[in-house]
Amino acid sequence: MTQNRISLRFNDDDLAAVEGAIATLEQHLTGLIGLTPDERRELTKMGDKSEAFCRQAVITLGKHPDVLPRNFDVDEYRADLAALDALRPLLTRLQRVYDRMVDSEMALGSDLMVASLEGYAHLKVAGRGDGLDTLKEALGARFNRKRRQEPEPAV
């Protein structure tokens, strides 16, 4: 093989441990929600500058809850900030793992594709007369292009 960007092996114990870790995450992160694309689009977003504003507002409004309407839940407001602060480091760690998994998947696919193309090229040349014509045709089907049909002229 001319390319081997990654060599990755999983044993059954490792896969079972990873599955268990994922199950544990799912079990302990039951409060997480999923949003539809429309819900994501409609939400008011908090960026970096807005975050500083929100943090200062939590402090200020927490010290002066008497200026807020009765239905404003200051404890829930503070809890949202605490949950955000707890979630972010976890998200950062998981994002790094996720990114590495996605990159590894891409590298594995690339290794497979390059090796398959290389092997197919050798098979086309070296496999002549060895009873491999049917296999070559089957592999070559991936490269068959369908011709575009010419639109029929309007009458």
Cα distance between residue 113 and residue 4, in whole Å: 11
pTM: 0.77
Would you list the domain boundaries of the chain? Answer: 45-141
Task: List, for residues 62-99, the tens digit of each pLDDT value.
Answer: 999 999 999 999 999 999 999 999 999 999 999 999 99
Average pLDDT, the chain: 92
Non-local CB neighbours of 30 within 8 Å, separated by 6+ positions: none
Residue 155 confidence (pLDDT): 66
pLDDT of residue 53: 96
